[in-house]
Structure 1
Amino acid sequence: MPSTSRRTFLGMVATGTVASVAGCSSTCPDEGAPDPSHTVESGIENPGFETVPDGSWPLPRFDAANTGYAPVQMKTTAPSVSWQADVSPSATGGEDTSVSAVVVADETVVLATPTGVVALSLRDGTEQWRREFTPATVPSAVDIGDGATSPVIANGRVFLATADGIAALEVADGAVAWRNTDTAGAGVPTVTDDALFVPTTDGVARFDTDDGNRQWTADADGTRLAVADDTVVVAGTEIVAIDAATGVVQWRRSDRPGGHPVVSDGTVYVSNTYGDLLGRSLTDGTEQWRLDNRRSLEFPVVTPEGVYAIERPGEASSATFAFDRVDDGPPEPRWCSEIKLGGAVTAAADDAVFTFQREDGLTAFTTRFGEAVWQYPVEYQAVSLAILDGGVVGVSPDGTVVALGGE
């Protein structure tokens, strides 16, 4: 259950005493680590899922809009380890590079290592195929060095940005469908039904998913994209919006973004290097609201009703914050939970939000009241999750892939 201080915070929000995070005189009033109702026992491994989870998580943050939200229900409040696999990365250029985020589709888990792409069975984690490539590398979202850029999945194909081009593989067997070596990849791809968008060394480019033909390249710098309502949003040295059909730049704003952009209902959510969380109009880039308390609200996950982010003020303990979305104003805080050594909100479902915390591992909170339902304590910091209808798949930087499930 939530601590007394978290209940007090909820009461203040309910009565209007706290209008926004900026109204708090201190960081999260909740004290102490979350006290979960269930702890997943690590090291205990079952032979696989009895029932393979439904649904998919085809992009690193679920959808092209980068929301990090899957419209599914948490099936169990007491999961167990269904399977575990080791996809160990190798050293590249004398430096270790982390594995990528996981993506899931067609009952297949796919991720990139510094030397290639690996596909595992969603049922039991057995390796299905492996192909040698050198993926592009991107800075970690949680300050743990560089990592291999994640593949994305659409229409039975895996798409990957590599150091010498863009590649498309068949999900079923890893066969190469096409390669485009006109330009090198430089960031995380995003795919829609009919187009692949990739940060490249030439700029952001659009490719035909059928044959890999490059259709346009826009003058924009960034490693992470969001695509919604026929617009590509790029987070780099500035925020840039591009017409998805023509490649024409629609607007630019010098927000000095940090992390990834998220688009939902015509609003671009982005955190910047000053610690602000702000919303801009997708149409013209005008600022709609800003939480400018300099608390470093980072890497938001956005659902139809809420916004979730990690507060990392630097001078104090970090915290997971949950906000209610407001039609004509900034999000309003709903609950918070203290984190001792930082972490990241990685994903959300209809009834649960998932965070990684450096001391406590993976924690699942209820979205409404912030109750810690279960926790998976791990010695490493995992930074990627895929939320499915009946299971969760996560990967740590060292290449350990874990699937959790249960009735």
Structure 2
Amino acid sequence: MVATGTVASVAGCSSTCPDDGAPDPSHTVAPGIDNSGFETMPDGSWPVPRFDAANTGYAPVQMESATPSVRWQADISASTTGGDELGASAVVVADETVVLATSTDVVALSLRDGSEQWRRALTPATVPSVVDIGDEPAPPVLADGRVFLATTDGIAALDVADGAVAWRNTDTAGAGVPTVTDDALFVPMTDGVARFDIDDGHRQWTATADGTRLAVTDGTVVIAGEQIVAVDAATGAVQWSHSDRPDGYPVVSDGTVYVSNTYGDLLGRSLTDGTEQWRLDDRRSLECPVVTPESVYAIERPGESASATFAFDRVDDGPPKPRWCSEINLGGAVTAAAADAVFTFQRENGLTAFTTRFGEAVWQYPVEYQAVSLAVLDGGVVGVAPDGTVVALGGA
């Protein structure tokens, strides 16, 4: 069920969404696996965990099919010694290759059929999960035919084609999720946040700021740690900071920094000087926002009660206004959005695709685990579960 229109803002321990039932999708993806792969390869890329260096989680592509099927499935932990399940990082995709990390390896899979292309023994840095399931490996990022990874003994750059080491910087250990732009790599390190040359790994500066997740846009690096801190991308000089206690990824769009904090607030700050522009502070615990040019999507998780997916209209110079919501079971996260679909993972119902405008549940992929990462392409999606199961969905 989906509620549209105005949603009341009511404080308390229960969801403010008036919807009182699980979404009823038009299509349920059958769990059967034939591993036939994609007949038509998806276009586009998802080179960093939240699509772009600003962490919007939004890819400007169309959902190609309202009735997708499983195109392939792979278990990246299958070849590990002893067969123990290992935590998996978020997936990134470029050059027809899916790349992710376990606690001991970086693994590359074919986007076409999920076959393993190469595996490199490296120990990634660990970061707290954004959905409270413990620590997880810091994901790699992709740019210019290379894979960049923060490891326990420095930064590594590998060739996407074969996993060969292009360069290593072992000055100090990585401590968070890297992000990359056209000309630089930014990485949380144990001695601060550092900027590296993407060609040779030379460290260009280190900012004295702690954090595990970054956003980079418009010449500014936004760092989420104990505080929210902005530094100059060219020099590392601190521009502003606030004690917001950010939770998860900072998101930047059109000069606004979207901050979800540990107090349950969702607020917007000016990228230029950090001034607060608006705040949704009714203790609804709006978490992990995905931001598109017109909308903000977030999961409301009010304590032990049922959670809800919320869609908000962006408003110039004001807080986002609720457009629709859909109640879900405990847990979950909005993971990504396309031009006409928003995707959520739910602890008991799996992956659900909603239409962006009215919140209609188009399809659902019921899985028993809570997958927390999704890459959205033009013609397919690739998701990974914490146990290392990677699944690709697409049209027949």
Task: Please tell me the TM-score bracket, short chain as reference.
Answer: over 0.9
AA matched with 2:40:
T
Aligned counterpart, 1:357: 346
- Partner amino acid for 2:36? P
Report the secondary structure of 1:257's partner residue.
coil
Report Cα offsets for 1:90-140 as digits up to 9, x if no partner: 999xx9751100000000000001111000000000111110000000111
Which residue number in structure 1 is paired with residue 391 of structure 2? 402
Q: Is the 8 A contact 1:187 1:224 kept in 2?
A: yes
In 2, the alpha carbon distance for the partners of 1:11 and 1:298 equals 21
Superposition deviation, residue 316 in structure 1 = 2.1
Give 1:12's aligned residue.
6
- Please give the secondary structure, in 2, of the residue aligned with 1:210: coil
How far apart are 1:46 and its partner, in Å? 3.9
Alpha-carbon distance between aligned partners in 2 of 1:122 and 1:181, rounded to the nearest angstrom? 31
Runs of 4+ in structure 1 deviating by more than 3 angstroms, as ranges, are 20-23, 89-92
Matched, 1:106 2:100: no
Aligned positions of 1:283-298 closer than 5 A: 283-298=272-287
Distance 1:89 1:218, change over 3 A: farther
5+ residue gaps, structure 2, are none
1: distance between equivalents of 2:10 and 2:340? 23
Q: 1:377 to 1:26 in 2, by over 3 A?
A: closer
Of 311, 325, 337, the residue aligned with 1:322 is 311
1:132 aligned onto 2:132: no
Task: Tell me the alpha carbon deviations over residues 305-345 of structure 1, each in whole angstroms, 9 at most, x when there is no partner.
Answer: 00000000114211000000000100000000001111000
1:238 to 227, 230, 239: 227
CA RMSD of aligned residues (A): 1.8
Paired residues of 1:348 and 1:354 also in contact (CA < 8 A): yes
Deviates more, 1:37-46 or 1:249-258: 37-46
* CA distance 1:199–1:11, shift in 2 (3 Å): closer
- TM-score, normalization by structure 2: 0.96
- Partner in structure 2 of residue 369 of structure 1: 358
CA contact (8 A) 2:354 2:363 kept: yes
What is aligned with 2:187? Answer: 198
Question: 2:44: which partner in 1?
Answer: 55
Q: CA deviation at 1:26?
A: 6.0
Structure 2 partner of 1:393: 382
Contact 1:22 1:291 in 2 (8 A): no
Paired residues in the alignment total: 394
Equivalent residues of 2:301, 2:330 under 8 A apart: no
Deviation for aligned residue 1:45: 2.5
Amino acid at match of 2:116: E
Do the aligned partners of 2:304 and 2:330 also contact (CA within 8 Å) in 1?
A: no
> Which residue does the alignment assign to 2:201?
212
Q: Residues 64 and 316 of structure 1: is their aligned pair in 2 closer, same or farther, counting only changes over 3 Å?
A: same
2:149: which partner in 1? 160
2:174 paired residue number: 185
Tell me which residue corresponds to 1:280: 269
Q: Does 1:308 align with 2:297?
A: yes
Question: Contact conserved, 1:97 with 1:145, CA < 8 A, in 2?
Answer: no
CA gap 1:22/1:284 in 2 versus in 1, 3 angstroms: farther
Alpha-carbon separation, structure 1, partners of 2:365 and 2:379: 17
Deviates more, 1:83-92 or 1:368-377: 83-92
> Counterpart of 1:52 in structure 2: which amino acid?
M
1:40–1:375 CA contact under 8 A, matched in 2: yes
Contact 1:110 / 1:117 at 8 angstroms: preserved in 2? yes
CA spacing shift, 1:165–1:324, aligned 2, 3 Å: same
Q: 1:88 aligns with which of 70, 77, 85?
A: 77
Q: Structure 1 residue 43: deviation in Å?
A: 2.6
**Which amino acid is 1:250 matched to?**
Q
Q: Deviations over 1:21-62 (max 9, x none)?
A: 779x96110011100000000133341000110000000000
Q: Which amino acid aligns with 2:227?
A: E
**Secondary structure of the structure 1 residue equivalent to 2:247:** strand
The one-letter code matched in structure 1 to 2:174 is: G
CA displacement 1:223-250 (0-9 Å, x = unmatched): 0000010000000000000000000000
Distance 1:26 1:112, change over 3 A: closer
Q: Which of the residues 240, 244, 259 maps onto 1:251?
A: 240
Greater CA deviation, 329-338 or 97-106? Answer: 97-106
Q: Which amino acid aligns with 1:276?
A: D
Q: Secondary structure at the match of 1:77?
A: coil
